[in-house]
Structure 1
Amino acid sequence: MNIEIDDNNIDVKKIMKQIKENLNKRSYEDDLVKTSSYHTNNRGINLSALEEYQLLLNRTWNNSTAFPITSHRRGIGTIIVFVKKVIRKSISWYMNPIMQRQTEFNANVVRAYNEIVTQLKIMEEVSAKQNKEQNDKRAGNSEVNS
């Protein structure tokens, strides 16, 4: 398959001029802003709810079996506390590795969640900045066209 081009009939300067004029007529920045903010809805991201969950997760990620054992019952309370401590000691060899793995998992999830919230905040700031720049540009274009 051979393709032949007759170079004598092609005016490259004219074609380049037409391309530049078409690019100047179109505003591709509108498309870029729409694409970059596609991940959000028209109302934006509800960061306040995410931050509330973030605070809760940061407070509660650490599971510990070392909480104090107490009883509010008089007389029999000391026996109840003693039995609970004996039970805790007898199952600690089994429960401690499980609790340690759960705590590690919780810590990893909370770190990932914190990073996601941080990235969402950055994306929200960038989106707001792009929207402001776009609105400023539109305002400038409308003043020039007036």
Structure 2
Amino acid sequence: MTEKPHELQPWQWPDEHWRGIVNHVRAGRALRPKQWPGNARCAVALSFDSDHESSELRDGGKSIGRLAWGQYGSRVGVPRILQILRRYGVKTTFYVPAVVAMTYPDEQRQLVAEGHEIGIHGWIHELNSVLPREVERDLMMRAADTLEKITGMR
């Protein structure tokens, strides 16, 4: 084969190439305790990506339909999720791009006020895997500063 793996489709990759990709992210030791607190049978972690319009914006799109789909998350999705979380007394993490936080600052403040955590989800939901390291770092730091300014929490 004369082509380099990056010139091939994934189904054409040599085994050592795709195995190298998979092995790069292999998990370490198992973290499950011998027994869960309170004799629970398992533990559950909930998190939500509050991307709203950012997925369309990230791709440079201006589709009214896709932007409306994103707005649905703030108008309907997050309020429904919060209602369920309140009913069961559950706290969780919402991962929010900075652009979304700037678009919906009251939503972010409400999440924090109700005891939820806001996690950084990029600046505009960019694809970090294609960014140079220094650009990714700059965007993450800008996002952290923006989320802190809006929510009062770092």
**Could you say which TM-score interval applies, normalised by the shorter chain?**
under 0.3
TM-score scaled to structure 2, two decimals?
0.24
Structure with greater strand percent = 2
Larger radius of gyration: 1
